Amino acid sequence: MATETYRDAWGIPHLRASSPRALARAQGRVTAHDRAWQLEVERHRAQGTSASFLGTGALSWDVFARRARLADTARRCFAALERRDPETADWVRAYVDGVNEGLPAGARRAPEFARTGLAAGRWEPWTPLGVWLATHILFAGFPAKLWREQAVRHLGPDAVGLFATDGPGTAGSNGWLVTGDRTATGHALIAGDPHRFIEDPGVYQQIRLACPEFDVVGLAVPGVPGIAHFGHTGTAAWAITNAMADYQDLYRERLRRTGAGVEALSPDGTWQRAARHTETVRVAGRPPVGIELLETPRGPVIAGGPEGLDTGDESHPDGAGALALRYPPRVTEDLGFSALLPLLRSRTVADIDRALDAWTEPVNVVQAADTAGGTLHRVAGRVPVRAEANRLHPVPAWEPGHAWHGTHETPYARPATEDGIAVMANARGLATPLGVEFAPPHRAARIRALLDAGRAWTADGMPAIHTDTHLGSAGPLLDHLAALTGLTPAAAALRDRLLAWDRRMDADSTDAAAYAAVRGAVVRRLAAHPVFAPLTAPPAYPDVLLPWLALVPRIGHALEHLLAAEDLYGIDRAAAVRTALEEAAAAPTAVPWSATHRLAPWRALPAGPYTAADEPGLAGDHDCVLCTSAVPGLTDRAGRGPAARYVWDLADRDNSRWVVPFGADGVPGACHHRDQLPLWLEGELAPVVTDWTRLTPEPTEPVAPSDASPPATTEPTEESDD
């Protein structure tokens, strides 16, 4: 059977081939056709070469990617994959072959290549592993350890709990499983939505992969073969949420220069040589930047060096300002790609369970079901066993007691559901032993409450849960407002209006907008208090880590904890709330929430100034099930939100639905570039169509293998003294 490509009414590719290898090649080719610019941006980000055509805004990421050794780790992981699992390695090679075949034509479709002068490069077999690693390296939020260190130093140990929340730098998700006992068909439903930074093109690719061994629909990560996170095989389906596990460590290193290079002080008191070499990062429109790359026995040094790092902390000894990052794939040379083919071949939840035993990172909570009534609710991934201090903050590399000792046992939910329902929305629960900071319980509690209200759920009912706008975190601020007396008439009227509000962050709600205005003013008042002054000036860490250290977002996303705590460092919170209320009342606005709460998608290369059409108004908020995350006190614009929505129906796969924020095609102006946006904004879903006779075949075009090479100006150069 020749490889065949079909499209549905939304331009979503449906691929059919004679073998998994031929199918992987077709997936690579169609992805390059639809997403050439996105693929090349991600390849360059994984290599740390994106500033060569994106300019100075990408420099901090490139330096971090180089110093964290992302590309080198991907190379090592692929070499290990070839030894441990040659079938999967060959399958990945086939995907890369397809990408290289499709890139030249795909690049001709994408105007960004001409605008930047970038030529389509050539993918290597390890490139998909690099894309996966670069996409997920910050998922576990290791920079939060730097925030905790700063907060505890200036505010005391209670700051860890007070500020613990699912902040803007961490990806999350909603996910729920309803067994056949709670559905109209007697078969399970799985639904949810991954919350990530909204990017254009989107971070998920709707796709169908069919061959004699399997036939799977799902959401793929562009640049990575298979369907990793969300899939339906016809008889079994799975979906994931971020487990909020802590599996990466930061070590403070004492380094010194010697005639032979650089040495690091080890826990046994000896100095051990650190690997060292230099690289040049090229930057469009600017001179190249030379950087020194160091790696100690703990891991790559991502900040500082033998001369230290100006962190603003005088307690660090000379030479102890360097930070080394230890993360599992660098240690184990395993990115979990051996799970990908078995997932596609899964027919039951037992198959999915076995496949996920090979999963590495990011660490996820998985919900799965099959047509025989089987269910699964487990954590997948590897979390190292080590001291509690490692989980909380950077630890001294020269002191004993901070080594890794194996991995934690994977937690399962037994039974998989409670009264026919399983919910995971990044709150404490199944994965609690593996993490430090989790999302507040509001989303999870609200989803369960909504599901508990029905006993005969259908796929049609799931979008109402996806788009629920009740704000569970509003209580503490409203309680403070209720306690105020002696207000001006305008402030009293605003207070009474907010106390009567239904706590829904609906797009057309002027009350929701008024609440957000008061909330933002409270956040700014608290952030300006002198007790927080030491936390307002970020230390000299790389720019890519600074979002985790910014005070206003930390206060904004932890506001309910800060307002509900018995004491907040002596701050007169009532006075802060009163002043904020009077401030908002003095500048009243009658605009709806969607007037300021607008989508702010990330683009590697914006076409020009954003317009109202580029930034449509939104409903929802950070702690709503409809999690469209702004940063209270800073902006109402939302950079994070549902990167996809899905409903997997185990009674009939063709009754499943899905949607992404924009569309299947990554090319601006293409008919399927933004055709799903109206659905996404309204909370509607597109049907999953698997009947081949209802799909449109795409003409088969001869494709010559590409011999293109990456532009010489975009590749790293090295000078090694190892």
DSSP 5: E
Give 493's Cβ-side CA count (13 Å radius): 7
Q: Give CA–CA dist 213/190, Å, rounded.
A: 24
Cβ-proximal residues to 700 (8 Å cutoff; 6+ apart), any chain: 2, 3, 4, 5
Q: For 350-364, what is each residue's pLDDT tens digit?
A: 999 999 999 999 999
Q: Average of pLDDT values for 502-529? A: 98
| pLDDT(722) > 50 | no
Give 121's Cβ-side CA count (13 Å radius): 22
Q: Give CA–CA dist 41/19, Å, rounded.
A: 29
DSSP string, 71-105: HHHHHHHHHHHHHH-HHHHHHHHHHHHHHHHHHHH
Average pLDDT, the chain: 93
Q: Average of pLDDT values for 664-671? A: 97
Give 496's Cβ-side CA count (13 Å radius): 8
Query: What's the pLDDT band for 320 if we cut at 50, 70, 90?
Result: low
Query: What's the pLDDT band for 614 if we cut at 50, 70, 90?
Result: confident
Query: What's the pLDDT band for 1 if we cut at 50, 70, 90?
Result: low
Q: What is the pLDDT of residue 699?
A: 85
Q: What is the pLDDT of residue 309?
A: 75
Q: Average of pLDDT values for 641-660? A: 98
Cβ-proximal residues to 572 (8 Å cutoff; 6+ apart), any chain: none
Which amino acid is present at 229?
H
| pLDDT(492) > 90 | yes
Residue of 209 and 316 predicted with greater confidence: 209
Q: Average of pLDDT values for 216-231? A: 98
Q: Please answer whether residues 469 and 621 qualify as being in contact, where contact means their C-beta atoms are separated by less than 8 angstroms.
A: yes
* Cα–Cα distance list, 404 to 220, 282, 579 (Å): 32, 36, 49
| pLDDT(126) > 70 | yes
Using DSSP bridges, classify how beta strands 635-642 and 375-380 pair: parallel, antiparallel or unpaired: unpaired
Instruction: Estimate to the nearest angstrom the gap between the alpha carbon of 658 and the chain centroid.
Output: 19
Q: Average of pLDDT values for 506-524? A: 98
What b-and-e string marks burial along 276-289, b requiring 16 or more CB atoms within 10 Å of the CB?
beebebbbbeeeee
Handedness of CA 104, 108, 111, 114 (dihedral sign): positive
Q: Which of 243, 160, 147, 230 is nearest to 193 (CA)?
A: 230
Task: Please state the φ and ψ torsions of residue 619, each to the nearest 5 degrees.
Answer: -95, 175
3-class state of residue 636 by DSSP = strand
Q: Give CA–CA dist 592/506, Å, rounded.
A: 8
Helices (H), 120-225: 127-136, 144-155, 159-162
Q: Please answer whether residues 661 and 680 qualify as being in contact, where contact means their C-beta atoms are separated by less than 8 angstroms.
A: yes
Count other C-beta atoms under 10 Å from residue 133's C-beta: 24
Q: Which of 8, 1, 43 is nearest to 693 (CA)?
A: 8
Q: What is the pLDDT of residue 34?
A: 98
Q: What is the pLDDT of residue 719?
A: 43
Q: For 321-337, what is each residue's pLDDT tens digit?
A: 899 999 999 999 999 99
Q: Which of 239, 245, 275, 227 is nearest to 642 (CA)?
A: 239
Copy the structure tokens of residue 331: 């240690």
Query: What's the pLDDT band for 714 if we cut at 50, 70, 90?
Result: very low
| pLDDT(693) > 50 | yes
Q: What is the pLDDT of residue 540?
A: 84
Q: Average of pLDDT values for 302-309? A: 91
What b-and-e string marks burial along 477-494, b requiring 16 or more CB atoms within 10 Å of the CB?
bbebbeebeebeeebeeb
Count other C-beta atoms under 10 Å from residue 591's C-beta: 12
Q: Please answer whether residues 722 and 277 qualify as being in contact, where contact means their C-beta atoms are separated by less than 8 angstroms.
A: yes
Q: What is the pLDDT of residue 703?
A: 47
DSSP 317: P
Handedness of CA 389, 394, 396, 400 (dihedral sign): positive
3-class state of residue 180 by DSSP = helix
Q: What is the pLDDT of residue 310?
A: 54
Q: What is the pLDDT of residue 342?
A: 98
| pLDDT(608) > 60 | yes
Q: For 27-40, what is each residue's pLDDT tens digit?
A: 999 999 999 999 99
Query: What's the pLDDT band for 99 if we cut at 50, 70, 90?
Result: very high
Q: Give the burial class of 514: count Cβ atoms within 10 A of its Cβ; 0-12 exposed, 13-18 middle, 19 or more buried.
A: buried
Which amino acid is present at 56?
T
Q: What is the pLDDT of residue 609?
A: 61
* Cα–Cα distance list, 388 to 394, 402, 434 (Å): 11, 9, 11
Q: For 144-191, what is each residue's pLDDT tens digit?
A: 999 999 999 999 999 988 888 765 556 679 999 999 999 999 999 999
Q: What is the pLDDT of residue 539?
A: 80
Q: What is the pLDDT of residue 305?
A: 94
Q: Give CA–CA dist 303/68, Å, rounded.
A: 9
Cβ-proximal residues to 15 (8 Å cutoff; 6+ apart), any chain: 3, 4, 5, 6, 23, 26, 27, 30, 207, 208, 209, 210
> H or E element: which one contains 694?
none
Copy the structure tokens of residue 482: 């209720």
3-class state of residue 658 by DSSP = strand
Copy the structure tokens of residue 530: 């002198």
Q: What is the pLDDT of residue 589?
A: 82
| pLDDT(718) > 70 | no
* Cα–Cα distance list, 711 to 42, 46, 111, 129, 570 (Å): 16, 16, 18, 21, 59
Task: Please state the φ and ψ torsions of residue 62, each to the nearest 5 degrees.
Answer: -60, -40
